[in-house]
Amino acid sequence: MRTQVAIIGAGPAGLLLSHLLHLNGIESIVLESRSQAEIEATIRAGVLEQGTMDILSNAGVGARMQAEGALHHGIELAFGGQRHRIDLTELTGKAITVYPQHEVIKDLVAARLAAQGQLLFEVSGVELHGVDTAAPSVGFIHRGEAGRIEADFVIGCDGYHGVTRPAMPGEGRQDFKRDYGFGWFGVLVESAPSSEELIYARHERGFALVSTRTPTVQRLYFQCDPADHVDNWSDDRIWAELHARLENNDGWRVNEGRIFQKNIIGMRSFVSTPMQSGRLFLAGDAAHIVPPTGAKGMNLAVSDVALLAQGLEQFYRQGSDERLQGYTTAALKRVWRAEYFSWWMTSLLHTFADATPFQREVQRAELECVVSSRAMATALAESYVGAF
């Protein structure tokens, strides 16, 4: 098989890149280890910045997002028994849309199939060859048969545990890591929304988050031990913990309902640089991870592939690789700002086992400064909506 760009991974990054390239007349083939049903059913958060919404809409895949996504003009910070609203739109002129990642994937898969794009699902044994040459290739097994793609470029959009980052040359590479020592226990609940906007809550028992997926589904999280197991948490225990952490002096309570999904996710920060070597480029979680507190994961992936699409367009239309050569520098400028913001939000709102009484009081004081200072609230809002 021959194509211009081989893309490993059919998450939002890989699918969107393939579609952006298609719109510019550039051929691609996408390889994915999971089935189409699996990627469309994998529940992930979906806080979309205005820039992300614009890219999806301009690519012709934003109609359902605009019709079904929930436009949010603010968020709330809860601590000390009170809730404080950060007015994102008033402070920045921008808003965010809550639209789950798996719905974005459905829209992108539909667009690629409608354009007769080549998507190969349930692929195994992926191996990269010659990425340091002008003629890289990818070997794989699909439906029991060995295959090979010859391409001009290989793009790794296969996540933290994928095969593309390990294929990067070791010399000159640097990985930056931070393990926070706690996780998020997430539940999906059949109920009416508890709040029109997201609520980020700090409590002595740990962080909690209230989010809405649809008019009938809530996504709720609370800080937990990452080594814990969902079987240790009955529904009654979960609701007791959420009520305790989200209690409010005005009598507000989170709406209960049938819990139909439980999972635990770890909290870590990770950046691998450079994000390119020869004809191999990394995008999204293959190159960087942010804790979900800052709601930046999918937005960073979209930003990465937008840069790559521009670089590849320049290469094929103008014969210049200037943008491709500058990809790592351009991408990391955005990545590190998002890493900082996600680390700051995580540090601001979570409890830390080794925190001293002094540190806990400083954390509380910082929250009070954020909600009482327009300058600090604006800084939070600008980072949250991606206005930088």
Catalytic residue among 12, 19, 22, 72: 72
Q: Which of 12, 100, 274, 292 is catalytic?
A: 292
* Candidates 99, 221, 327, 384; catalytic one: 384
- CA distances to 179, 220, 228, 309 from 3, in Å: 39, 43, 45, 15
Query: Is 200 annotated in the active site?
Result: yes
Q: Is 292 a catalytic residue?
A: yes
Annotated catalytic residue within 99, 180, 200, 221: 200
Whole-number Å distance between alpha carbons of 47 and 29: 28
> Exactly one of 274, 296, 327, 350 is catalytic; which is it?
296
Ramachandran area for residue 52 (φ above 0: left; ψ -120 to 50: alpha; else beta): alpha
Catalytically annotated residues: 72, 200, 292, 296, 384
